[in-house]
Chain A
Amino acid sequence: MITRRTLGKFGLALAAGTVLFAGPALAQDKPAPFDKPGDVKIALVRYLSTGDFFQAYLAGVEAQAKALGVQLQVFDSRQDAALQADMVDQAIALGVKGIIIQHGLTESMKEAAQRAVDAGIKVVAFDVNVENDKIPQVEQSDRDLARLALEQAIKDNGESWKAGYVYVAGIAPLDRRDETWREFKKKYPGIDEVAMFGTLDNPIANSVANQARSVVSAHPDIQVMFAPYDEFAKGVKIAVDEAGLSSSIKIYSADISTADIAAMREPGSAWAATAATNPAVVGQVSVRALAQLLAGEDPGHNVIVPPTLITQKDLNDNDIKNMEELSAKMPQFAHADVAMPAWMPNPNK
């Protein structure tokens, strides 16, 4: 069923579920309007765009759009909320059939999204709540991210340890991860949070390293650092290394990048595990959810992309050096079976 070319190209054993989908997908014709995909124009309207996560997200959107054969127009408002709303109107005027709203502020995007829906355009939103029943919300599950990382911390360290926690309030994904952390502390009373710190001063890793260094000198008995954002984890790792405590502290985090992989794989690295959603997959899922809407199907109101747990051992055992190898060698990271009807082309093939 899988061609030799696919195997040669990716060198991975596909998950059983994907194999089941791969069969009929070849046979089945695509529903309208994707029988003539060249006529379908979609727009991606972005609020945030600089940084590795957003680059990878865009790559995912482009890959899925290409796999479908549709035209993609990218609007980038560069954190200008008013401009982002204008860009939705611009996209409407251009006559696109579907719009993906990527991040933004509820206040500025709610009405713009409604205008698009009123104009008969299908809309999906990623990581911004536009408060509209007609618009599916694509999300990476921050609670699951935190849960996976913390479950691994419990597995590695038992149910009672002294913890340092890195957190900055008021950032939506971090707040959601924080909820899970609170639940875990309630569920496992043995977890003793002796220090909480965090900052978003950039370069973030450098500023957090300075803070973490103070924290570990004040509390050298900390066993676990929960740093649910990879820039935080990187900073903590630098501090732990500088303080010579790499063997007594374990770091658990969320998110991943090529630089993170290198840091996790350093000999004796304190960075034990991270839970991550592949931003490229989130991009693909955004386009697929939109495509389902355009084909008259219902992807559901909350389209959640599940995260993957990646441990230091996984990386070492598979000799993974960058994000591409991670996708190739951990197939659950490369593809999510979300918004994946039988006719949908899989861009990873």
Chain B
Amino acid sequence: MANILIRYGFLALLVALVVFFSVATSGFASPQAAVFIFQSVAITGILALGVTATLVVGGFDLSIGSVATSAMMAAAYAMIVLQQNAFVAVIFCLAIGALVGLVNGLIIVYMRVPDLLATLGMMFLLLGLQRIPTEGRSIAAGMTMPDGSTAQGTFSPAFMAIGRHRFDFFLPDLVPVSVVVLLILAVLIWFFLEYTRFGRMMYAVGSNPRAAELAGAPVKAYKIWAYIISGVFASIGGILLAARLGRGDIASGNNLLLDAVAAALIGYAVLGASKPNAFGTAIGALFVGVLLQGLTMMNVPYYTQDFVKGAVLVIALIFTFSLSGRTAR
């Protein structure tokens, strides 16, 4: 009984919530609303999948929020100030994400700086760095540059389509690009972590780095790759953010970080995994999305929503560390 509760408790709770909101509010139970829930968690979900990779190798990445906002600024800067096309802007962002991940990994692995501290430092560094090119201004088409001239570029239509285009899926114009990206990345990282040798080795590195090293695994390389994955995923989140907002916004991304970490941690409890896993992370993100969408439709103010989010996280962690720990022993 306890086993069943631990394995399926969270999924059951998710289903119960969906049923509750469908009854309690009008408009919750519709394909559009369902798609929208995915859309509202797409960006944090992608960040959460990235941070899951670092959790798997026993690390942590605090810089994902600021990587995402830096990528957003970089995309806007590339198009509006440098007048590049969408393709260049996307590549530019991905390169920044990969580079930041690589630097994080190198600092953590070779300089032996603890992961929390290294990525915290990186977070501050990026917060400042993203503001330097425009002297603290947000980037929008027609903006005035620090030297007084007007920026000539615009967000290219192809790039805006990332934020606005919708694919037909049974209904016309139903599924936005961000949701498709989320689903693809979720399946990719899930398959990668669970079914490839590389992914299984990452779990081995996370659970016992010394044993993995003695077994001949290049532990350092696996760790660095985990941070690169995390950085790239965060920059993809930033690209989607830029495409949705249509400008480069000065923002710390701290809320993105916190929501993403919450989703990944809730994921520990899904199916009684008690470890970071991509499927759980996706469910965790979805769970938060369902809650927030439902509560907003019921006119619940934002601070109550933060409270509920926190409560869910605490309960999920209790599930993970207390209940499942006992049965395992």
Contact = CB atoms under 8 A, between A and B. Distances in A.
A55 B244 contact: no
B245 A238 contact: yes
Contact of A52 (B69, B137, B245, B302): B137
A55 B292 CA distance: 34
A20 B26 CA distance: 60
A215 B245 CA distance: 19
Interface in A33-50: 49-50
Contacts of B256: 203
B124 to A, nearest CB: 13
The range of chain B's interface size is 35 or more
Interface string A61-96: 000000000000000000000000000000000000
B245 A199 contact: no
Interface residues of A, number: 44
B162 to A, nearest CB: 14
Given A197-B299, A214-B36, A218-B25, A207 B255 contact: yes
A168 B302 contact: yes
A196 B299 contact: yes
B103 interface: no
B250 A51 contact: yes
Contacts of B131: 50
A316 interface: no
Interface string B220-263: 00000000000000000000010011110111111110000000
Given A203-B245, A238-B244, A197 B302 contact: yes
B297 A218 contact: yes
Contacts, number: 124
Grouping DSSP codes into helix (H, G, I), strand (E, B) and loop, the A interface class, with mixed when no group exceeds half, is helix
A263 interface: yes
B252 A202 contact: yes
A202 B253 contact: yes
Interface string B36-76: 10011001000000000000000000000000010010000
Interface string A199-221: 11111111101110111011010
A261 B250 contact: no
A195 B25 CA distance: 13
B27 interface: yes
A243 B297 CA distance: 15
B36 A203 contact: no
Query: Which of A50, A55, A217: most chain B Cβ within 10 A?
Result: A217
Contacts of A209: 244
Contacts of B305: 199
Nearest to B27: A217
Interface in B1-35: 25-28, 30, 32-33
B296 A211 contact: yes
A337 interface: no
Contacts of B241: 203, 206
A204 B294 CA distance: 19
Given A55-B135, A220-B27, A238-B244, A261 B32 contact: no
Given A52-B250, A198-B301, 19 more contacts: A52-B137, A55-B136, A198-B302, A210-B292, A214-B33, A214-B36, A214-B296, A215-B297, A217-B36, A218-B25, A218-B296, A220-B27, A242-B39, A242-B164, A244-B173, A259-B247, A322-B142, A322-B143, A323-B144
12 contacts: A203-B245, A205-B249, A206-B245, A209-B244, A210-B40, A210-B296, A213-B40, A217-B297, A218-B25, A242-B36, A261-B142, A262-B141
Among all A-B residue pairs, the 10 with the closest Cβ atoms = A259-B140, A214-B296, A218-B297, A199-B302, A201-B255, A322-B142, A203-B251, A210-B40, A202-B251, A321-B142
